[in-house]
Amino acid sequence: MSASGSASKSGSRAGAIIYFSVDVEASGPVPGLYNLVSIGVVPVGRDAGLFRPEKERLYTELRPIAPGFDPGAMAVHGIPRERLERDGIPAKRAMQDLSEFVAARLRGPSDRAVFVGHNAVFDWAFVSYYFELFKIPNPFGYKALDIKALAMGRLGIGWFDTNKENLQTLLPGLEPQDETRVHRADYDALYQAQILCALLNLPGGRE
What residue segments make up the domains of the chain, in order of their start? 17-200
Domain 17-200: CATH architecture, name and number where available: 2-Layer Sandwich (3.30)
Dist. CA 76–CA 182, nearest whole Å: 9
Count of CB atoms within 10 A of residue 150's CB? 18
Count of CB atoms within 10 A of residue 5's CB? 18
Per-residue pLDDT of the chain (207 residues; tens, 9 = 90+): 344 444 444 444 568 899 999 999 999 999 999 999 999 999 999 988 999 999 999 999 999 999 999 999 999 999 999 999 999 999 999 999 999 999 999 988 899 999 999 999 999 999 999 999 999 999 999 999 999 999 999 999 999 999 999 999 999 889 999 999 999 999 999 999 999 999 999 997 665
pLDDT at residue 108, rounded to an integer: 87
Count of CB atoms within 10 A of residue 33's CB? 12
Closest by CA to 65, choosing from 95, 21, 42, is 95
Identified catalytic residue from 63, 92, 105, 183: 183
Q: What pTM value is reported for the model?
A: 0.91
- Is 77 annotated as catalytic? no
Q: Give the angle 35-165-26 at the CA atoms, nearest 5°.
A: 0
Dist. CA 85–CA 130, nearest whole Å: 17
What is the 8-class DSSP label of residue 150?
A: H
3 state DSSP class of 15: coil
